[in-house]
Amino acid sequence: MSDKPALLILGDSHAIALRQGADMLGLAAEELQFSGAGWHDQRFALGENGLEVRGIPRAAGQLRALREKLGVVDVFASGIPVLTTVGFHLGRLVPPFGWNGHQVQEEDAPGITEGLTASRAFTQDYVQHYRRRHFRLLRRLARLTPLIVVVPPRVHDRPNYDSFQRIITEDLRGLGLTVYDPADDLAGEDGFLPEDLMAEDGIHATAECGAMMIEAMRGRGLLPA
Amino acid sequence: MGEKSDNPYRHLPAKAFWRTGVAEAGLFGLSQLWSSAWTLPADAQFATFGSCFAQHISRALISRKMNWLNAEPAPGRTPPELAQKYNYGVFSARTGNIYTAAQLLLWARLASGAAGTDSIEYWTDEKGLVHDMLRPKIEPQGFVSRKEAEASVASTARAFARCITEADVLVFTLGLTEGWINTATGQSYSICPGTGVGTFDEGVHAFHNYTYPEILRDLEAALAIMWQMNPDLHVLLTVSPVPLVATASGDHVLVATQYSKSVLRAVAGDMARSHAQVDYFPSYEIIAAPSSRATFFEPNMRAIAHDGVDLVMRHFFAGLDLSAPSRRAGAAPDAGRAAAEAQMQAEELVCEEMLLETFNER
């Protein structure tokens, strides 16, 4: 086995900031990333060799290269800490939920006066339907290696995003997984990621923000200092 | 003297006589049972509410690809089993069964704003989950809070209002005369408190067998509210042929059923006769009249067999007059959905580009 990285980063486009942050901190990190659409569409499977990517040649190639580089078949069972953004992919999950005008009534939000509402129980079932396999993958990985699920940064207040993020976070914690929410350390007074930590696209975090997240996780003892 | 004297019956069509209209026609030869009182546009929108038999009308309209107005659909991309679990797509809004005219009046008042969601009774179960007593089984477990329960009632009331204002025809199936009311608040329950949801309190909860005048009054009041909201709304009344599952009247359930259906049938008929915008469709007769010899009742003599529903719906579609010009030709696709899809695609493009750029950097 060649030089062992300090971190493995697994996920969608939100994982990029983590990877860039690791680079900024001089941490040796390796990654497997593909789009939120691919994750949402469940282009992955758990096989004898651990995580497999299905139908995304670029990502499958990335995984093959990683196996060769690390000299192991099951990359995510090698004991290297894994930071992952798998399980959220809100950009694919939340908009369709609102196509017919549904919103989730949150206890701390004003009463919804227009459109339709969906109950929290329904929304939890909806999330489970689309994320059950992702949660199973994460549980499996967490049994094999230290794993931290990183919540995507809160960057806007579009309807239902907070509700879905909260439900998924609660589900993951309910499964005994370690979840890090950058809002706990980096959010401004308004609860959103400050603009200077946001990438130009207004959706993702910057490399600096990625580094700050890793430092924060270290500070909380979630990652080795 | 060999010539018969003239009388009104001599000029009546075959359908007016039992022998030619029923006995000789046979169950599957019945014709002209109903013809729509109105000429509707080819793309007429139908909203369906009422007792459980109304669900068959919803399904038949959907299967015929007719314009069944679903004003409270499940969220987008909800899998069918989940939609079913949460009672989406059963009626045109998520009202659950509306068994009595009193409940229809309450929904009309909620839809018009004459009543607020705080006028509904809510019950908290031992797990702390909240149920609205107007739709006690709409959520499989209940709502997490009173706030959420009220928000859901308000959502359905808005959808019900949309049905009133956007539908061409509101189909309402009258189901029961018997019900339970709260003597303190006047709330009409869809099921007796304590039968699955709620706690029965004999000091507050009272059995009430709505009489003909009460049902007529409530129906008139409900339709008056609806016509204030949409003067062009047509209302098609039907009576559920499904017998009572139980009676609290003290009568035998068979006798109570016949009484209940007879009263509902009479109210529906009189409403149709007294309002040009109300019509009656005889689904009850098709299933329950002697002509069917109870053929369409399942062995429990209560549930209606699929063939019976099919026959009912054949008569329904045969009698519909959809010969007026369409009014919604070329309707634009849902703008909200299109915008959401566009946004999703745009964000996905951003994400893909970011991933590719990452590769480019290494």
Average pLDDT of every residue of chain A: 94
B259-308: per-residue pLDDT in tens? 999 999 999 999 999 999 999 999 999 999 999 999 999 999 999 999 99
* Residue A1 pLDDT class (50, 70, 90 cuts): very low
Backbone angles phi, psi at B207, to 5 degrees: -70, 140
Buried-exposed string A70-80: b where 16+ CB fall within 10 A, e elsewhere: bebebbbbbeb
Q: Which residue has 């007074």 as its token pair?
A: A189
B33-48: per-residue pLDDT in tens? 999 999 999 999 999 9
- Secondary structure letter of residue B20 according to DSSP: I
CB B56 within 8 A of CB B316: no
Please compute, for residue B95, the number of CA atoms within 13 A of its CA located in the half-sphere on the CB side. Answer: 34
Q: Is B87 left (phi over 0), alpha (psi -120 to 50) or beta?
A: left
Q: Which residue has 């910057």 as its token pair?
A: A206
pLDDT confidence of residue A4: 86
Token pair of B189 as six digits: 């329950």
Task: Pick the closest to residue A39 from A125, A155, A168 (CA basis).
Answer: A168
Q: Which residue segments constitute the domains of chain A, with CATH numbers given? A: 7-92+132-219 (3.40.50.1110)
Which residues in chain A touch residue B151, judged by CB atoms under 8 angstroms apart? 105, 111-112, 117
Q: What percent of chain B has pLDDT over 70?
A: 90
The nearest CA of chain A is from the CA of B160 a distance in Å of 11
Token pair of B288 as six digits: 């329950």
B137-170: per-residue pLDDT in tens? 999 999 999 999 999 999 999 999 999 999 999 9
A38/B97 Cα distance (integer angstroms)? 41
Q: Which residue of B has its CA nearest to A91?
A: B344
pLDDT confidence of residue B346: 67
Distances (CA, A) of B270 to B63, B213, B267, B288, B324: 31, 11, 5, 20, 27
Q: Which residue of A has its CA nearest to B337?
A: A99
Interface touch B354/A129, C-beta < 8 Å: no
Question: How many residue pairs bridge chain A and chain B with CB atoms within 8 Å of each other?
Answer: 125
- For chain B, give me the number of helices (H) and strands (E)? 10, 10
Which residues in chain A touch residue B150, judged by CB atoms under 8 angstroms apart? 111
Interface touch B348/A92, C-beta < 8 Å: yes
Q: How far apart are the first and last CA of chain A?
A: 24
Which residues in chain B touch residue A118, judged by CB atoms under 8 angstroms apart? 75
Which residues in chain B touch residue A23, judged by CB atoms under 8 angstroms apart? none
What is the DSSP annotation of B230-298?
-TT-EEEEEE--PPPS---SSS-HHHHHHHHHHHHHHHHHHHHHH-TTEEE--HHHHHHSGGGTTTTB-
pLDDT confidence of residue B171: 97
Please compute, for residue B1, the number of CA atoms within 13 A of its CA located in the half-sphere on the CB side. Answer: 0
Interface touch A121/B75, C-beta < 8 Å: no
Task: Select from B84, B347, B358 the residue whose CB has the most chain A CBs within 10 Å, as the one to mutate to test that interface.
Answer: B347
* Residue B327 pLDDT class (50, 70, 90 cuts): confident
Helix (H, G, I), strand (E, B) or coil at B330: coil
Strand partners, B178: B209
The nearest CA of chain B is from the CA of A156 a distance in Å of 13
A76/A86 Cα distance (integer angstroms)? 13
Q: Which residue of A has its CA nearest to B335?
A: A99
CB B340 within 8 A of CB A95: yes
B36-93: per-residue pLDDT in tens? 999 999 999 999 999 988 899 999 999 988 999 999 999 999 999 999 999 999 999 9
pLDDT confidence of residue A157: 84
* Residue A225 pLDDT class (50, 70, 90 cuts): confident
Closest Cβ opposite residue A121 in set B139, B158, B343: B139
Q: What percent of chain A has pLDDT over 70?
A: 99
B303-323: per-residue pLDDT in tens? 999 999 999 999 999 999 999
Burial class of residue A97 (count of CB atoms within 10 Å of its CB; 0-12, 13-18, 19+): buried
CB A100 within 8 A of CB B71: no
Average pLDDT over residues A195-213: 95
Q: Which residue of B has its CA nearest to A204?
A: B351
Which residues in chain A touch residue B75, judged by CB atoms under 8 angstroms apart? 96-100, 102, 118, 122, 126
Average pLDDT over residues A88-116: 93
Interface touch B348/A36, C-beta < 8 Å: yes
B27/B287 Cα distance (integer angstroms)? 10
A47-86: per-residue pLDDT in tens? 888 999 999 999 999 999 999 999 999 999 889 999 999 9
Higher pLDDT, B121 or B1: B121
Which residues in chain A touch residue B86, judged by CB atoms under 8 angstroms apart? 119, 122, 125
pLDDT confidence of residue B259: 97
Residue B116 predicted with pLDDT over 60: yes
Q: Pinpoint the alpha helices (H) of B95-145.
A: 101-112
B170-212: per-residue pLDDT in tens? 999 999 999 999 999 888 888 899 988 899 999 999 999 999 9
Q: Please give the single-letter amino acid code of residue B185.
A: T
pLDDT confidence of residue A142: 96
Residue B345 predicted with pLDDT over 90: no
Task: Select from A10, A13, A63, A85 the residue whose CB has the most chain B CBs within 10 Å, as the one to mutate to test that interface.
Answer: A13
The nearest CA of chain B is from the CA of A179 a distance in Å of 23
